[in-house]
Amino acid sequence: MSSKSFYSEIRRNNIKTYFLMFIFFILILVIGYCLKLIFSFAGFGILFFAGLFAIIFALIGYYSGDKIVLSTSKAKPIDEKNPKHKYLDNLVEGLAIAAGIPKPKVYVINDVSPNAFATGRDPKHSSVAVTSGLLELLNREELEGVIAHELSHIKNRDIKVMMIVTVLFGLIVMVSDIAFRSLIFGGASGGGNDNKGGILVLVIAIAFVIFSPIIALLIQMSISRKREYLADASGAELTRYPKGLASALRKISSIDRPVASASKGSAHLYISNPLKRKKRNLFSTHPPIEERIRRLEAM
């Protein structure tokens, strides 16, 4: 496979991510304008204070989220005396050197369901966790593909990207909630729009603000799926063997057993949906396994 195939896939997914984030910002500007129509001068004040709170909460999660995720996932540091754990540690170290990033801390989750995730705010503060089931199921080439995928999340700073997306999503949810409560208890000022056209615009603005969290969630999930495609392509570029990751994904998806310690809050971090829900929809955090395998085999 040529380097051009790797890089074109990486570039395409990055462009799609940036475009979706641009749409996110446009959505926030439109919401700000709608708030101005609904509450007159108070609209942008609501946007400012909601944004401030969203940023504060996101920063707390950004700097302490990895510890929380590792703890709730029941991830334990590797046992140096365990040959499989030592093998995993050496594999992570070798691929980290190849990727040009510091070696992340390595953890194992005692669970038969095969899965893995990476977390950490930057390459210097990162961790990789795999389940014991993954170590038992995969051969060397497949395990390399999975680890390369997770290291790519770290190298691509996906935690930082998703933190920004979380801030934007949290901002929209807060604004929508504040606006909805204000409408119930205080009503809309409407900026003096008392003609039929003005009332229609006001109704559309109110509806848009109320339903904006759904639009924001669709964008957030779409960005999450694009970062998975990006990590697949970057991981394949790292190992130079996309079929290894494709084979690993095929094996992982064949076992319909959830990771016991996984939750909806941490599901997006895993290489495959740890909740093992087969039904796919617009709100899925992961793209279809079949499509990921097809893209990898087509590289």
Q: List the catalytic residues.
A: 150
**The sheet that has 125-131: what strands, in order across it?**
75-77, 105-109, 125-131, 116-122
CA–CA dist 236, 136 (Å, integer):
22
Q: What is the DSSP letter of 40?
A: G
Residues in the chain: 299
CA–CA dist 6, 9 (Å, integer):
5
219 contacts 27 by C-beta, under 8 angstroms: yes
Give exposure, 5-31, as e/b (b: 16+ Cβ within 10 Å): ebeebbeebbebbeebbeebeebbeeb
- Side chain identity at residue 161, one-letter code: V
- The dihedral through the CA atoms of 67, 68, 69, 73 has a sign that is positive
CA–CA dist 230, 213 (Å, integer):
25
